[in-house]
Structure 1
Amino acid sequence: MKRPDSRFAQFDKRIPADVRALAVGRTLAIPVGAETVLITVTPRMAAIRLSLRTSDPSEVQARQGQVCAYLAATWAALRSHRPVTLSRRQANALAGDLYRGWANEDRGRTLAMTLTAGQWVQDRSTADEEREAFAGQVAKLEGADPESLEPLLGPLVDRLLLRRGFASITAETRADLLDAFAMALRDAFASRARNADGDYSPDPKAARFPDWEPPSPSPEAAPKTSLTGLVDGWWAERKAAGLKPSTHESYRQSMAAFVAFLKHDDASRVTVEDVIAFKDHRLRTINPRTGKPISPKTVKDSDISGLKAIFGWAVANRRMATNPAKDVTLKLGKPLKVRSQGFTDDEARAILKAALTYRRGEQEMAQTAAAKRWVPWLAAYTGARVGELAQLRKQDLRREGAHWVIRITPEAGTVKTNEARDVVLHPHLVEQGFPEFVLAAPPGHLFLRLGVLGDVAGPRQGVKNRLAEFARAIVPDPNVAPNHGWRHRFKTVGIEAGIGERVLDAIQGHAPRTTGGSYGEVTVKAVAAGIERLPWIDCLR
C-alpha cells in the first residue's frame, strides 16, 4: 500500500489471531532488502506495518515476499509451544552468527556502538574512541552472570532463536545461550578493538564456532512438515541440478503467499480445495505495481506450477502422501496481439539516440550510467537478453583476429541455456568505442556492482529495472516489452538481412529446433559473417 507522506511502498499485514498473544513483547528482526527492521509487538498492535524502503515495483514485490516469508516462519515458530533444548554445540553455533556480524568491518571503518538492552546505539566517531568503546564492551561482558546478561543480551537471543524457528527454549538452554553470546561478543569486540589499532590479521578465534545443526526431533513429539521447509528441501536438490535462482525466488514467494492465505504452515493439512481456493484468491489479488489483478499467466506459471513442483518433490521424498496441486489447472486465453513484439525502427532509433547522448545523473552509480549508454546498443546489435549483457565483465571481451568478441557466459552470473556463447561485435559498436570503454574499465563487472555477499542476481535485476525504466520513458507503448523488445527486433532485422536461422539462433542463444541442429558448431567466423550483414543504425537523422 502507499502512504500519502512517503514515496516508498508500505507493508501492512494482520497478525494472525492465534499467535497475537504469543507475539506481544517480542522484537521481530524483519529483513527488508539488505537491511533489518526491528519491530516490537505491543498489546494494541493488530498488524505488522513497515516501510519497504523502495518505490521500484519489482523490488517492492521481492521485498513483500521476503517479509511475508519471515513472518510466516515466525508465526509457525510461535505456534510450537514445546520448549526446545539445544546442546552447547548448537548454542555456540548460534553465537557464531553474532560473532561474524560484529567481528570485522565490512564497509570501511564502522563507528563504535554501545550495547544496551540488545540494541546498539552509535555514540563515538574517532578511532581512539572506537577502540576504547569496544574495549569497554569487553569489560562489561567479562565475568557477567546469566541474571545480569539477560537484560543486555536477552533480546538478541530471542531474535536469533526466532530466525532459526524457535520461540521457546528451556531455562538450561537459555543460560547456555547467554553465556555463549557473551563470549562471542567479547571475542568480536576484541577483534574490532584490534582493527581500530590497525591490526587486521585473521582472528584465530573465528574458527571455533561449529556449523549449525538443528536439534533432532524427539520421537514423542515429531514436528510437522512445514510448507516453508519443503521449499528449502526442494531447492537444495534443484540447486545442485543447476536450476536458476530466479525460479527458486518465484516459487518461494508463491509458497509464502500460500502460507499467508492458509494461515498455517502445516503441509499435512493442505487439501486440493485449499489449492483451488488459493488459485481463485490470487486471481482476485491486485498487483501493487500495476493496480490491476494479477495476470492468469502469473498465477499459472508461478503459483500453480511452483506448488506442483514442490509438492511433487515432497511426495517423491516421502514428505507428503499426495500432491494436492497435481490436478489443479488454469486455462489461459490467447492474448490479443495488436502490434509486433519488437521495437519499430523509429522506436529503436529513439532509444539508441537517448543512450548515445546519455549523461550520468548527479547521484547515479557509474555502472548504471554505463549500462544506459551501452546496453541498448549491445542489445540492438547482438539480440542478447538484457540480463546477459548487464552482467558482462571486462574479461568477457577479447580480440580474435580481425574481430572483437564478447563471451556471454554463466560464469558471469546466469545464462538461460547454461551455455556460454561468443558474439562478434558489430563494426558500429567498435566505431563508437565500446572496446576502448571495456579496456579502460577496472577489472570485474562493467555495468553492476556486486552485492554484499558477492551475489550478482540482485544487482543484475536492479540494472535491468533501470534499463526498462529508461526505455519505457521513451517508448511508453505497454504492448512492447522495454527490454525484451530488442530480441524480437534483432530476429526480424536478421531475417531481413538474410542471416541463416541457425546462425541467428546461435547469436541469440536460442536452443536448436531439431536434433540435427545440435550437430556441428557455429564458429566465430560464421557469426562475424552474419553480424556484418546487419545494417548500421543511424539514430541521429
Structure 2
Amino acid sequence: MVLSMPSPYKHPSTGVYWLKQRVPARLLAVAKGKSVTVTVDGMPCTVKLGDYIKVSLRTKTIAEAKQRANEAEAEFNRIWLSFENGPVKLTLKQITALAGEMYHAISAALEDDPGEAALWAQRRRERAEVGAKLKVSPAAALMIRPPSLEARLGSWVDGALKQHHLTVTPETYQRLLVEFDRAVGDVATLLERRSRGDYSPDAVAQRFPPVEIEQRVAAPKAAKAVGGDDPTTLTGLLAHKQRTQSKKDDTFDKYRGCLKNFIAFVGHEEVGRITKDDVRRWRDALIKRGLAKKTINDQYLTSLKVALNHGVKEFDLPTNVAANIRDERDAPAPTGSKGYSAEQAKTILQATFRGSSKNLEIPYQRALFWVPWICAYTGLRVTEVTQFRGRHLREENGIPYLLITPDDGSTKGKNAWTTGIHAHLIELGLLDMFRAIGDGPAFYTPYPEGTDLKSLSNHRAKSAGDKIADWVTDELGIAAPGDRPSHAWRHAFTTLSRTYKMDKEARDYMLGSRSQTDAREGYGDWSPEVVDAEINKLPRFDVEASDWRPSLELVPPRPLKSDLPPRRPLRVRKLRAKSA
C-alpha cells in the first residue's frame, strides 16, 4: 500500500522543507476532512486531510529533511492502515500501555514542582468517592461509565488514539477511560508524595508496559500458485516454506509476527517491490524503538531474510535484499548479573511457602510453589517444567529422574533428555506431589485425552509461566535480571554449576542445550546414576521451610476452545465507535 513518494520540497518563503503525499483514492471518501496526528522530530502536529496530506519537516537542511521524510512516510502508511482497518479491539496490556503514556507525561511535567500536598490528597479522595459510587451502579457491570468520566478524560484518550492512528471499538474506548482514570489516581498519589518531599523511586511506573500496537494489514489476494501459497507475497513464501520444510510451528509463528511488523511499516508485502532501503529504514526504526541488537538481528531481520531467501531458492526471486543488513551496534556493557543473586533466589523460594494473595486456579497455585524450586535446582526452561506430566517421572535402580520430552509440548530442537532430581526437592515432597497428581499435568488444566500436545501453538503451560513471572515482579517486587523472571533461574543454575564443578557435558545435556558442533556428545547414554550425581553437586538453598503445600486436588480436563459450544452473545446497548 506504499504510494510513490516525492522528495521533500523547500517552501519558497521560509526555506523549511515540507512533505506532501496524495491520499489513496480508495480512502479519499472516508478520510477527507478528518484530522490526524503526525509526529515529526518528536513533535506531534495535527493535520486535516484533503486530497493530500502535507506536513512541515521542521528543518532547512536537506539531509535532515530526507531522514524525517522517511519517518513521516512510515506514519502516513500507518494512517492509511487505520482507515482501512476500521475499529480495532485492544488488549488490556495495550490499553494499560496507552494509559502509561499519560501517566509519564503528567509526572514528567509536574513532579519537580508539584504544588501543595493537600490539593493532590483532595483530588485522590474525590476520585475514590466517585469510584465507590460506580461500584453500586448497574451501569458499572457493563463498563458503561457516566458522562463525567468521558468529559474529564475523553480528550486524553482521543489524543492517544490520534497519536497512534487508531480507531477503536466502543468496548475498547470504555476500557481506555477506565484505565486512564486509574492512571490519574496513580499519578495523583505520586504527586502527593512528591509534594511532601518524597522523591524515592516511582515503583508504580513499572506497571505500565511499552506501547506495542501493530496495525494489521488486509489479507493477501487469492493465491496464485504452489498449492494455495502466493510466492509473490511474504506471507505466501513463508506459508510455502512451512509446508515443505521441517521446523517447529512456534518458529513460524514468531516469523509471521515479525513479518507483520515489516508489512505494516512498508505498507505492502509484495516481494518484488521490497527494496534494500525499505529493510534499512525498518532496521533503523527498530533501533529507534529501543529493541536489543540480538532481538533485531535474530528475530526481526532473520524472519524477513528467511522468507526472501526461500523466494530466491525456489521461486526465482532475483536477490534477497535483506541479506547483508544487520544491526552492527556494539553490544551494551554488562550492567549486572544475568541470573538471580543468592539473596533474590532465597527471597523467591522462601515466598513459595506463602503462595499468592490472588485467587488462582489450583494448578497455578501448585506452579507458584513448585516451579521456582524445580527451575532453581535444574535450570530447565520454565515451559519445560510447567508442561511436564506425571507419566514422565521415571525411576531406575531406585533413582528417580525427570524425562523432558516433546510429547508434553514444545522442546528446544524437538529433543528429549533426562535430568536428575536434587535430594532437597525430594525432601520437599516433589515425588509425592507428582505421584498424587498421577499421569497428567500438575501445573495447568489438562486437555482432553488424545490431544496432540506437540502441535499446540499456545500451550496452557505458557499461562502458568506467565503467572509465576507476574507473581515475582508484581507481588514480590523483584526486578528480574533482563526482565525475564523465569529465565533468570537458568543463568543462576549455570553460575552455580561452575562454582561447584559440575561436569559441563552433563550440565549441558540436562539443560537441553548440547553442542551442535561436537558429534561425539551425541554418543552413548546418560544413566540415572550420572545425572543424579551431577545434580546433587549443587548445595541446598538455605530457606526456612514450612509444612504448607498447595492443594493436590485434581482438576477435570477442559476442552480446547474450538471444542466448546458457541456462547450466546450478550445483549448490551450499542455504543457509537470512537475514532481517531
Task: Give TM class, smaller chain.
Answer: 0.5 to 0.7
SS at match of 1:339: coil
Shift of 1:22: 9.2
CA offsets per residue over residues 501-530 of structure 1, 9 Å max, x none? Answer: 222222222213633333322211111111
**Pick aligned residue for 2:238 from 225, 231, 240:** 231
The CA distance in 2 between the partners of 1:59 and 1:451, in whole Å, is: 33
The CA distance in 2 between the partners of 1:442 and 1:31, in whole Å, is: 41
Shift of 1:59: 12
**Pick aligned residue for 1:380 from 339, 351, 376:** 376
Q: 1:422 to 1:57 in 2, by over 3 A?
A: farther
Aligned length: 359
Shift of 1:311: 0.3
The CA distance in 2 between the partners of 1:335 and 1:394, in whole Å, is: 42
Contact persistence 2:297–2:326 (CA under 8 A): yes
**Pick aligned residue for 2:168 from 16, 25, 49:** 49
Instruction: Report matched runs for 1:356-375 at 5 Å.
Output: 356-359=353-356, 361-362=358-359, 364-375=360-371
Instruction: Report matched runs for 1:259-274 at 5 Å.
Output: 259-274=263-278
Identify the residue that residue 490 of structure 2 maps to in structure 1: 487
Identify the residue that residue 199 of structure 1 maps to in structure 2: none
1:280 aligned onto 2:279: no
The CA distance in 2 between the partners of 1:432 and 1:406, in whole Å, is: 16
The CA distance in 2 between the partners of 1:268 and 1:501, in whole Å, is: 48
RMSD, aligned α-carbons? 3.7
**Pick aligned residue for 1:537 from 541, 549, 555:** 541
Shift of 1:407: 0.9
The CA distance in 2 between the partners of 1:223 and 1:349, in whole Å, is: 54
Contact persistence 2:308–2:320 (CA under 8 A): yes
1:446 aligned onto 2:442: yes
**Contiguous gaps of at least 5 residues in structure 2:** 1-22, 32-82, 92-161, 180-206, 546-580
Identify the residue that residue 463 of structure 1 maps to in structure 2: 464
Q: Which moved more, 1:380-389 or 1:313-322?
A: 313-322
The CA distance in 1 between the partners of 2:410 and 2:225, in whole Å, is: 36
CA offsets per residue over residues 434-491 of structure 1, 9 Å max, x none? Answer: 1222122264322123689862634333222222222334322545742122112222
Shift of 1:18: 5.0
1:519 aligned onto 2:523: yes
Q: Which structure has the higher relative contact order (CA within 8 Å, separation 6+)?
A: 2
Contact persistence 2:363–2:443 (CA under 8 A): yes
**Pick aligned residue for 2:416 from 410, 415, 420:** 420
**Contiguous gaps of at least 5 residues in structure 1:** 1-15, 34-44, 78-164, 166-213, 286-292
Q: 1:264 to 1:494 in 2, by over 3 A?
A: closer
Identify the residue that residue 249 of structure 2 maps to in structure 1: 245
Contact persistence 2:390–2:437 (CA under 8 A): yes
Contact persistence 1:225–1:319 (CA under 8 A): no
Letter in 1 for 2:217: A
Q: 1:379 to 1:402 in 2, by over 3 A?
A: same
The CA distance in 1 between the partners of 2:404 and 2:378, in whole Å, is: 11
**Pick aligned residue for 1:499 from 495, 498, 502:** 502
Q: Which moved more, 1:50-59 or 1:387-396?
A: 50-59
**Pick aligned residue for 2:295 from 293, 298, 301:** 298
The CA distance in 2 between the partners of 1:266 and 1:437, in whole Å, is: 54
Contact persistence 1:422–1:507 (CA under 8 A): yes
CA offsets per residue over residues 212-243 of structure 1, 9 Å max, x none? Answer: xx6879xxxx98822222222222234xx1x2
Identify the residue that residue 316 of structure 1 maps to in structure 2: 313
Instruction: Report matched runs for 1:195-206 at 5 Å.
Output: none
Instruction: Report matched runs for 1:210-225 at 5 Å.
Output: 225=232
CA offsets per residue over residues 42-96 of structure 1, 9 Å max, x none? Answer: xxx98542449999999996xx56xx4xx3134x55xxxxxxxxxxxxxxxxxxx
Letter in 1 for 2:511: Q
Contact persistence 1:425–1:531 (CA under 8 A): yes
Contact persistence 2:469–2:485 (CA under 8 A): yes
Letter in 2 for 1:334: A
The CA distance in 1 between the partners of 2:240 and 2:440, in whole Å, is: 33
Identify the residue that residue 400 of structure 1 maps to in structure 2: 396
Contact persistence 2:381–2:487 (CA under 8 A): yes
Q: 1:319 to 1:442 in 2, by over 3 A?
A: farther
Q: 1:306 to 1:27 in 2, by over 3 A?
A: closer
The CA distance in 2 between the partners of 1:469 and 1:235, in whole Å, is: 33
The CA distance in 2 between the partners of 1:229 and 1:30, in whole Å, is: 25
Contact persistence 2:374–2:385 (CA under 8 A): yes
SS at match of 1:49: coil
Identify the residue that residue 254 of structure 1 maps to in structure 2: 258
Identify the residue that residue 409 of structure 1 maps to in structure 2: 405
Shift of 1:294: 2.5
Contact persistence 1:379–1:487 (CA under 8 A): yes
1:73 aligned onto 2:218: yes
Q: 1:502 to 1:460 in 2, by over 3 A?
A: same
**Pick aligned residue for 1:20 from 13, 27, 30:** 27
Shift of 1:30: 7.2
Letter in 1 for 2:395: R
1:307 aligned onto 2:304: yes
SS at match of 1:73: coil
Q: Which moved more, 1:326-335 or 1:305-314?
A: 326-335
The CA distance in 2 between the partners of 1:401 and 1:282, in whole Å, is: 54
Shift of 1:260: 1.1
The CA distance in 1 between the partners of 2:299 and 2:243, in whole Å, is: 19
Contact persistence 1:382–1:507 (CA under 8 A): yes
Shift of 1:262: 1.4
TM-score, normalised to structure 2's length?
Answer: 0.55
Letter in 1 for 2:262: F
Contact persistence 1:341–1:480 (CA under 8 A): no
The CA distance in 2 between the partners of 1:524 and 1:504, in whole Å, is: 13
Shift of 1:398: 2.4
